[in-house]
Amino acid sequence: MIHVPEDTVGAFLGAPSVLVAGSSDGPLAGRTLAVKDVLDVAGVVTGAGNPAYAAAHLPATANADAVDALAVAGATVVGKTITDELAYSLSGTNVHYGTPTNPAAPGRIPGGSSAGSVAAVAAGLVDLALGTDTGGSIRVPASYCGVYGWRPTHGAVSTQGMAHLAPSFDTVGLFARDAGLLRDAATVLLDGAGGSERQPAGRHGVRDVVLFEDLVELAPADVRAAVVAVADTLVGGAAEWQSVACDVSDASLAFRILQGREAWALHGPWIEAAHPEFGPGIAERFAIASRVDPAAVEPANGLRAEVRRAVVEATAGGRVLLSPAAAGPAPEIHTDPERAAATRLATLTLMCIAGLAGAPVVVLPLARIEGLPIGVAAMGAPGSDRALLDWAAASA
């Protein structure tokens, strides 16, 4: 029997109910799954967090590839979850549908844009949840809510059936409270969700774990100390540090240029025609995206290639780079707007390297600061998802 949860944290769009029944004999049989409302579930409108967007779309005629793969493996979909509008935020606050409660830190934001998915997992309402990550939308919520999160290598998991934000950065990944379950569900997606970048079944394991100096040093002192302590525990001594041959500040700007350019190219015509009502942060981001200088795109793409080369070199031979999964614990819901914007930029800067490199990240909920969760982001080489997930499960 599948338990349909009561939504005690405002994570779902409407009351949870069985939307897709999972197979009775797969490796995930009996598990429950929530799906972020940027991924198609047959018979349900994909609203992407905005009522005008929802009104402009008919119910999906088929499941997203990732939903299908997990259902075939046994997971039962029990609802669609709240997302920031068009997935263009890291906060998890939605002016139309509300802000899901952060079960690990009530009164603080859950992180976004996969807010409902992470809240449903953190509250124990579901076993697994699908989220998406373009600039941190799995990694940041996982950090704020104290759960495991996986952002895959670009192209390793199909994004078919997704309402995109910036297609060359968009990924479909997962949340779970248990690292072994995260690995098992992620393996289903890597094996069967039609990704364009197939990964071999045989793989090298993780052989070395070090601190990502360029990112750790950007963090506030308390975050830095918490991440270093986790790293030392994982390696059983004083963890080594490694620098990566790229300028993080320049990389952050390049990421924002390329993400904004893609987001406006995809959604700009509809925004200009439909004039949808957006929350303040979303509206401002799309306004900035509309003004991206085309002449800045080619240099940004050049820097993207440089970052990927640097990350591939730094993670060669099974090396994993550890860094903070956010610039600090979850901010309070009513944080001053200027402070919230500064936190978002600091966190996006931490997130941008994996985004530019197309590298996989597993967030480990192993650190706390004054009782609040702070995730440790473990980044591997592009294509090393299986080894990274195996290592995370063994390290839990």
pLDDT at position 396, please? 84
E strand or H helix at 362, and its extent? strand 361-369
pLDDT at position 53, please? 98
C-alpha dist (Å) from residue 121 to 31, 110, 183, 211, 251: 12, 11, 15, 28, 32
**Which strands, in side-by-side order, build the sheet including 171-176?**
76-81, 32-36, 128-133, 171-176, 148-151, 361-369, 372-379, 319-324, 208-212, 241-242
Q: Which residues of 301-316 are buried (b: 16+ CB within 10 A; e: fewer)?
A: bebbebbbebbeebbe
CATH assignment of the domain containing 206: 3.90.1300.10
**How many domains are there within the chain?**
1
C-alpha dist (Å) from residue 72 to 67, 75, 292, 386: 9, 7, 42, 20
pLDDT at position 143, please? 98
User: How many Cα atoms are found within 13 Å in the side-chain-facing hemisphere of 141?
Assistant: 46
Q: Which residues contact 96 (CB under 8 A, 6 or more apart)?
A: 49, 50, 51, 85, 277, 279
52: which 2 tokens? Answer: 């005008």
Going through 144-228 in order, the beta strands assigned E by DSSP cover: 148-151, 171-176, 208-212
- Which of these is catalytic: 91, 117, 137, 384? 137
Helices (H), 291-328: 297-314
36 is annotated as an active-site residue: yes
- Which of these is catalytic: 113, 114, 117, 323? 113
Q: Are 84 and 91 in contact (CB under 8 A)?
A: yes
Q: Which domain holds residue 359?
A: 1-396
393 has which bridge partners? none
Supply the DSSP symbol for 29: T
Q: Are 315 and 384 in contact (CB under 8 A)?
A: yes
Q: What are the DSSP calls for 99-151, one per residue?
A: ----TTSTTB---SSSHHHHHHHHTTS-SEEEEEESSSTTHHHHHHHT-EEEE
pLDDT at position 252, please? 97
Instruction: Render pLDDT for 327-372 as a digit per residue (tens, 0 to 9).
Output: 999 999 988 888 999 999 999 999 999 999 999 999 999 999 999 9
13: which 2 tokens? Answer: 């769009």
E strand or H helix at 63, and its extent? none
pLDDT at position 193, please? 52
Q: How far apart are CA 141 and CA 153, in angstroms?
A: 18
Q: How far apart are CA 80 and CA 187, in angstroms?
A: 22
Distance from the first to the final alpha carbon of the chain:
29
Q: Are 40 and 64 in contact (CB under 8 A)?
A: yes
The dihedral formed by the CA atoms of 84, 347, 172 and 7, expressed in degrees to the nearest 10: -50
89 is annotated as an active-site residue: no
Residues 53, 56, 62, CA angle at the centre, nearest 5°?
Answer: 95
E strand or H helix at 351, and its extent? helix 337-357
φ/ψ region of 317 (left if φ > 0, alpha if ψ in -120 to 50, else beta) reads: left
pLDDT at position 335, please? 87
Q: How far apart are CA 288 and CA 277, in angstroms?
A: 16
Below-50 pLDDT ranges, the chain: 201-202
